[in-house]
Amino acid sequence: MAYIKINKENFFYNLKQLSLKSGDKTKIAAVLKDNAYGHGLEEMAALAFEFGLKEAVVISIKEVKKIEHLFENILILHDTPFYHPRFSFAITSLEALKAVPKNAKIELKIDTGMHRNGIALDELTKALEIIKKRELNFFGAFTHFKSADELSSELFWQMKNFEKVKEQIKAFGFRVRFHSFNSAALLRTKSFSEDIARVGIAIYGYNELPPLFEKTKLKPVLSLWAKRVSSRKLYKGQRVGYGGDFIAPRDMIVSTYDVGYGHGLFRGNSKKPLITAEGLPILGRVSMDFITLESSKDEVCIFNNAQIVAKHFNTISYEITTALKPNIKRVVI
């Protein structure tokens, strides 16, 4: 069966590099949403804990239940708040703030310019009044950057807005934690001073900053492997797979391997096939559970760097790894 290798050494290497940026490993909150960007939630949470991280971020309560014993606090970005001493809930609107149970730990998400969700800057006073009046369990305030990976002033005006937010919250007499940095912001900064950074893609080994930035080298954690199902001889002119898109240019030995778009490998365009990590083009169309390669090895590495695959499919590394289905076996090496 196709499986995923998780390279622990590379993961720890990335966490070390990021800890140097944040000043301390306890300031790194591992973003483990969406099955840890496809890497495997429980496997990555256990490794993060082993390294000594204390903080995590997920989307849902369903996710948090699988890893709750491992962290001092887990921020839940999008689910219904309730009280738990080690879970904090993102609150992204005044309506949600009015409805939140009194003792639930909350972190206000402030919209400093991304305009996806969050409390608007001109709603902040109102939000703080509600918190004060209802005596809510106000634990943190955060924002998210829309273009931390771009060489423009956008990041800096968002940061400036967030500084004003901090002042306003402090002026109200609240003492809460503050966080705004994602991977790109942390990788480009030279002066990190917030309470935590919410780091996703970088812990998995991808530095998505454009080449102009001074690059922290990171190492991809995940590789996708498939096993040989059967081999056959193709005679020149014989065609392979659905539609027969690949035509053997000569007699050749090919094998079928047990991975396909059903596992989350992109089907793409058979006229421009993906080249595997070992340099083999996929022959013809990707099936739901199988691909064909000119190889007779028992096991092949499909990819070990999602950035290369992303370039091929004209997307981002996030989408390539997150597409990998949870039912693929994850093996930590």
Helix (H) or strand (E) holding 73: strand 73-76
Catalytic site includes residue 217: no
Q: Which single residue brings its beta carbon nearest to ligand PLP?
A: 200
Element (H, E) at 48: helix 41-51
Check if the beta carbon of residue 104 is closer than 8 Å to that of residue 81. Answer: yes
H or E segment to which residue 307 belongs: helix 306-312
Distance between terminal CA atoms of the chain?
Answer: 17
| Residue 73 Cβ vs ligand PLP, minimum distance, rounded to whole Å | 15
**Per-residue contact string for residues 118-157; x = within reach of ligand PLP by CB under 6 A:** --------------------------x-------------
Residue 295 gets the label, from left (phi > 0), alpha (psi -120 to 50) or beta, of: beta
Calpha distance 195→179 (Å, rounded): 6
DSSP 8-state class, residue 211: T
| Segment lying near ligand PLP (by CB under 6 A), choices 180-188, 216-224, 272-280, 302-310 | 180-188
Q: Which of 21, 27, 33, 105 is catalytic?
A: 33
In 3D space, the residue among 320, 300, 299 whose CA is nearest the CA of residue 309 turns out to be 320
33 is catalytic: yes
Q: Is 91 in the site for ligand PLP (CB under 6 A)?
A: no
Backbone angles phi, psi at 159, to 5 degrees: -60, -40
Within 184-203, the residues that bind ligand PLP by CB under 6 A are 184, 198-202
According to the binding rule CB under 6 A, does residue 32 interact with ligand PLP? no
* Distance of closest approach, residue 254 Cβ to ligand PLP, in angstroms: 38
> Per rule CB under 6 A, is residue 31 in the interface with ligand PLP?
yes
Contact call for residue 97 and ligand PLP (CB under 6 A): no
Asked if 253 contacts 296 with a C-beta cutoff of 8 angstroms, the reply is: yes
- Does position 183 interact with ligand PLP (CB under 6 A)? The reply is yes
Cβ proximity to ligand PLP: between 188 and 263 the closer is 188
Question: Pattern 293-322, binding to ligand PLP, x per CB under 6 A?
Answer: ------------------------------
Catalytic residue, candidates 242, 272, 311, 325: 242
Residues 6+ apart with CB under 8 A from 326: 35, 40
Judged by the rule CB under 6 A, the positions of this chain that interact with ligand PLP are: 31, 33, 77, 144, 182-184, 198-202
The catalytic residue positions are 33, 242
